[in-house]
Structure 1
Amino acid sequence: MSLLLPLPRFDQPRLLAAQMELIDHSFGIGMLGSFLASVLLSAGIIFSTGRIEILWWSATMGAACALAHFGRFYLPARTSEEHATRYAKWMTAHLTGIGTLWGLAGWLYLDLSSVIGTICLLALIAGMSAAALAIFSPCLPVAVGFFLPTIVPVWSVFLGTRDMRYLPMFLGVPLYLIVLLVFAHNYARVARRSIGLRFENRELVAQLRAQTQRAEEANRAKSVFLASASHDLRQPLHALGLFAVSLGRTPLSDKQRELLAHIEASSGAAREMLNTLLDFSKLEAGVVKAQPCAFRLQPILRKLENEFAPLADAKRLVYRTHDTTAVVYADANLVELILRNLIANAIRYTESGGVLVACRRRDGQGVLEVWDTGIGIPPEQHREIFLEFHQLGNPERDRRKGLGLGLAIAGGLAQTMGLQVTLASQPGRGSVFRLAVPLTAHPDEPGSTVVEPVRPGGFAGLRVLVIDDDYSVQTAMRELLTSWGCHCVTAESEQEAVAALAPWVPDLMIVDYRLRGHRTGQQALEAVNAYLGLSVPAIVMTGDTAPNRLRDAQTSGAALLHKPVEAEMLRMTMLKLIRSSCH
């Protein structure tokens, strides 16, 4: 038979280990079945012929099956790559022995004069061979080790008769063996292919996990870089803005006033880009929470028109707003911020024509629309433009065209409210961005979206403690607060601040969030309040945009301002805190 089908070789250890693992799962059932079949054969032979010596054969078969089943547990890590070849050889040897016992039964107890006995014995051997095909085929050498010694002795019995009446068996038995080997070969090939696919899937999953981990690490690194860069840039810009305000309160010539205006414009542009990064970081940190209410859209549209119409005029664009009486239910501040990003983006990418902002009533919703006659967006880019730092038509990264975060922020803010920003565009003809907001009947607080400016009051004699480890910021804050009539004391750390409290108690504290020695403004506030035994109104200023820092800063209980802080915003916040403490 070896001439018909050469004996196969074991596969490589990695593949062989998987094959032996498949066989090992069903090996115990196979051995139990082999023993039970031997018991049935023994019973049939004893009842039909009275030859009780077959019990020795059955006992030997039981011992061989038990040894094979329990003996494998003494092989350490038998299905590992290191020991797979040894386990395969061990199993092949044991199955060859068990197959030999079945072949011996055919040689000794195949009584051709008894039709019933012959049929029973052949049926049991054929059944055991079929079961072996299902269990042992994943590893072809193991299956062949069982088939050959099981079938060949039976064939030799028929050949030994030299009786042509058994011609069908002369041909049928070897044909059955060949069929078993062919099927075993095919099953082994299928098993190898399945195992190979499993290995590939594992490798793909491992690669995907590695790539996902690298992407997450890159994203964390990006966030850390943005936070660090933003913080380091905000510090000098914050001081620059405060110095500019203080400088503007001094006598200046017309030329100096013009130069100061340019300084303030440049500082404002840088502040706008950093605030964009801050908005994006807030979304990543998950600190933006929607607070929906019913409000009128018209005050927001009018406010945005007053803000953006001059920018459009500067580019010789037509800015139009369709008045509306719509009342919607959403977060007014987030809706305003979404529209601000969409309008800024429309003006930035429109060179001729204009921008239209309108609200249409459609199916119980107010659909806010921002139309432009800009460059348009190709269909394949409709999803990508909502990704962070993705820009069209700006390969040179012109800072006047923004950072590529406006649409990402708009989309993220919309998701925070459970809404979606949609887009329709034709390249070369323009785009329209839409935000559908639920309509409602009446506003919760009529006119609540119109923010009246806070009239600055006097700060004469107000005692303010400033804790900041940046000398330029300390100086700028001292100059500004002093010009407002405050009595200002500055400190670099919480220890220095506590030491300065001996002669007086501050009415207000302004602290930087990130201090030296890995200390935070929140810890400085707690230390000062603990020393004084009371809670002093406080403002926490931060240039950090890292998600965890934003979440921590919000838990301080103090008013939170993000650097660079405009002087007017600082004054308004101080007034609110003073008025609140007086009540």
Structure 2
Amino acid sequence: MVLLVPRYDEPRLLAAEMELIDQSFGIAMLGCALAGFILALGLSIGGGHPGAFPWAVALAAACALGHFGRRAIAERLSEARAGLYARGMTALLTVIGGLWGLAAWLYMDVHSPATVICILSLIAGMSAAALAVFSPCLPVAVGFFVPAIVPVWAVFIATGDSAYLAMFLGAPLYLAVLMVFARNYARVARHAIALRFANVELIARLREQTARAESAQHEAEEANRAKSVFLASAGHDLRQPLHALGLFVVTLGRSELSDKQRQLLAHIEAAAGAAREMLNTLLDFSKVDAGVITPQPRAFRLQPMLYKLENEFAPQADARGLFYRTRDTTTTVFADPNLVELILRNLIANAIRYTNQGGVLVACRQRRGCAVLEVWDTGVGIPITQRRAIFREFHQLGNPERDQRKGLGLGLAIVEGLARTISTRVLLNSRPGRGSVFRFALPLTSQAAQPADASAGTPGTMPSRPSLHGLRVLVLDDDPEIRTAMTALLQSWQSVCVAVESESEALAALADFTPDLLLADYRLRGERTGQEAMEAIRERLGRVIPTVIITGDTAPDRLRNVHAGGAALLHKPVVAQHLHTAMTALLSESGWRPEIPRAAGMRMHG
């Protein structure tokens, strides 16, 4: 019979089952011993069985042996020792159950109802207690039930009296019921323990996943910091020679050159412009990442901007055999035109790059009180699984070899950051193999607002500039090539300058040279910065001197610091036109006026 031959569970479950039993084992042994003495006392007084006391002592000794002896089993609740503990407890409970069965066999007189009731009540009580305490491990519980109940049944069989037929039938039924309940309790305990194990494992996995997530977050933060350091260091080191190259090229372009030399110079300018564009892309991303871009919204007409972009990108599209179309619009919007143009520029460049046939359409629609700008292409399209990933930095479709001619993968990351800056969202619809459309909304403004033309000037033109004749400029840069190039450029603008390589030389030069404007590199010798030098020079002069700080750094913290310094900020490589514009804007605010044309003197130190 399966119920009579239960098996121990596997070590992990068995250890947990024995732990449940062990928690109540001491109380169970104490109650069993007390019940034995109570029975012995009753038998001695009411049944004339003084020999019951030795039986009670033997029962108490067995209970004490079980309670104190279990401590001799080292690590009895471990998986390795739980089997030994369970077998030992089963043997002990068999002995204790046998002692209760022996009491029934020796002292239960069927002709004395009081004695029968007393013995049966205590055995039934002990069996019920055993069911509650020992059923988590079925073999242990069965070890008590069988030797305790079978002798009672034997006593009623031995009477041969039909008057005890009910007891004769009830005893094995009671044993069977105990066995069934014990089995069910064991099953419930086993399920509860398995559930506890599952919860423990789940918690462990959650902790492991949390630890991995924290580790991944830390790695991501470290990677982001490393990225910023890389952009700051590599960007600065690359910008230095390009900055000097740009200044030399502008100065060379103002000299007498042959047609062939002009042609070579144009190629040099194109190559320098391509490198400058790549670095400017890194700078744009760093500005967005740093959060230092402050939108300056105003009313402006979209059409001049769209014409300007068409003039710039149509030749690129034509060179790839693509058409480029702009849908005319009279829409006037209220936004920062420079940021809107930068968003469109990146979207159009991206559309041309990923279109092999067909073309690109740039359009504006008015919907629900907004102007919706759209850039359509007939390119490769974007799978739905990639539509969020493409807005991550350095992520590109179809460029596993990281061909830099296909860009850096920053365009759409810049677009999304700039869109957040001007409080809009870039939406995407795409069908792989058919093309894509990117769109974003801008608030409309009244036509009566007389918006400014957002497209003043075109790329590559040099509009007439205010004169810098006679302007006294202090140039502070530790790179001798840049000092030479800057001196030549300022000389071509008929300004007077002193070029020095350190803050100490700049302060010394103030003894016989009073500058109208300071041009300073951000990184100087001795771990000093252009901002610190500016503050020292202003303190020496006793007044605020207009200052242009030129930097090749793109680290977010550095950008925030420079923006907070109160000086105009330009990024290497500096375009001569932008430098001239920044200088004249500062001078206009300070009230400086150019001198009557005369020969401009030049000096250079260091």
- Normalised to the residue count of structure 1, the TM-score between the two structures is 0.77
Give the alignment partner of residue 500 of structure 2, picking from 491, 495, 498: 491
Give the alignment partner of residue 541 of structure 2, picking from 514, 529, 532: 532
Distance 2:27 2:418 in 1: 66
Structure 1 counterpart of 2:422: 417
Report 1:288-303 matches (<5 A): 288-303=293-308
Deviates more, 1:480-489 or 1:430-439: 430-439
Structure 2 counterpart of 1:138: none
Distance 1:33 1:277 in 2: 75
Deviates more, 1:157-166 or 1:330-339: 157-166
Give the alignment partner of residue 113 of structure 1, picking from 109, 117, 135: 117
Aligned residues: 555
Structure 1 counterpart of 2:351: 346
Change (3 A) 1:38 1:398: same
Q: Secondary structure at the match of 2:117?
A: coil
Change (3 A) 1:27 1:291: farther
Structure 2 counterpart of 1:367: 372
Query: Is contact 1:372-1:432 (8 Å) kept?
Result: yes
**Cα offset, 1:567, TM superposition:** 0.3
Distance 1:455 1:99 in 2: 108
Distance 1:145 1:524 in 2: 88
Q: Which amino acid aligns with 2:515?
A: P
> Are positions 1:470 and 2:479 aligned together?
yes
Report 1:116-127 matches (<5 A): 122-127=127-132
Distance 1:124 1:193 in 2: 30
Distance 1:358 1:505 in 2: 53
Distance 2:126 2:416 in 1: 76
Structure 2 counterpart of 1:139: none
Structure 2 counterpart of 1:268: 273
- Alignment gaps of 5+ in structure 1: 134-142
Q: Which amino acid aligns with 1:4?
A: V
Query: Is contact 1:425-1:431 (8 Å) kept?
Result: yes
1:223-265 deviation digits (Å, cap 9, x = unpaired): 3323322211111000000011111122111111111111111
Change (3 A) 1:10 1:307: same
Change (3 A) 1:477 1:92: farther
Distance 2:99 2:542 in 1: 99
Query: Is contact 2:365-2:372 (8 Å) kept?
Result: yes
Q: Which amino acid aligns with 1:417?
A: I
Q: Secondary structure at the match of 1:113?
A: helix
**Cα offset, 1:455, TM superposition:** 4.5
Distance 1:362 1:50 in 2: 104
Report 1:89-104 matches (<5 A): none
Query: Is contact 1:112-1:118 (8 Å) kept?
Result: no
Structure 2 counterpart of 1:284: 289
- Normalised to the residue count of structure 2, the TM-score between the two structures is 0.75
- Alignment gaps of 5+ in structure 2: 46-52, 105-114, 158-167, 593-606
Structure 2 counterpart of 1:334: 339
Change (3 A) 1:447 1:169: same
Change (3 A) 1:380 1:178: closer
Distance 2:149 2:444 in 1: 88
Give the alignment partner of residue 356 of structure 1, picking from 353, 361, 371: 361
Deviates more, 1:440-449 or 1:229-238: 440-449
Query: Is contact 1:295-1:442 (8 Å) kept?
Result: no
Distance 1:37 1:331 in 2: 87
**Cα offset, 1:566, TM superposition:** 0.1
Query: Is contact 2:130-2:144 (8 Å) kept?
Result: yes
Distance 1:33 1:556 in 2: 79
Give the alignment partner of residue 409 of structure 2, picking from 399, 404, 412: 404
Structure 2 counterpart of 1:137: none
Distance 1:473 1:105 in 2: 106
Structure 2 counterpart of 1:546: 555
Change (3 A) 1:495 1:41: farther
**Cα offset, 1:271, TM superposition:** 0.6
Q: Which amino acid aligns with 1:253?
A: S
Report 1:120-519 matches (<5 A): 122-129=127-134, 133=136, 147=141, 154-155=148-149, 158=152, 161=155, 163=157, 164-165=168-169, 166-315=171-320, 317-394=322-399, 397-441=402-446, 446-447=451-452, 449=454, 451=456, 455-519=464-528
Distance 1:9 1:187 in 2: 15
1:418-469 deviation digits (Å, cap 9, x = unpaired): 4222233344443322122333445766226454797422223322222222
1:96-133 deviation digits (Å, cap 9, x = unpaired): 99989997997799975157766665555444457xx4
Distance 1:49 1:290 in 2: 101
CA RMSD across the alignment: 4.8
1:79-99 deviation digits (Å, cap 9, x = unpaired): xxxx96799899989999998
**Cα offset, 1:405, TM superposition:** 1.8
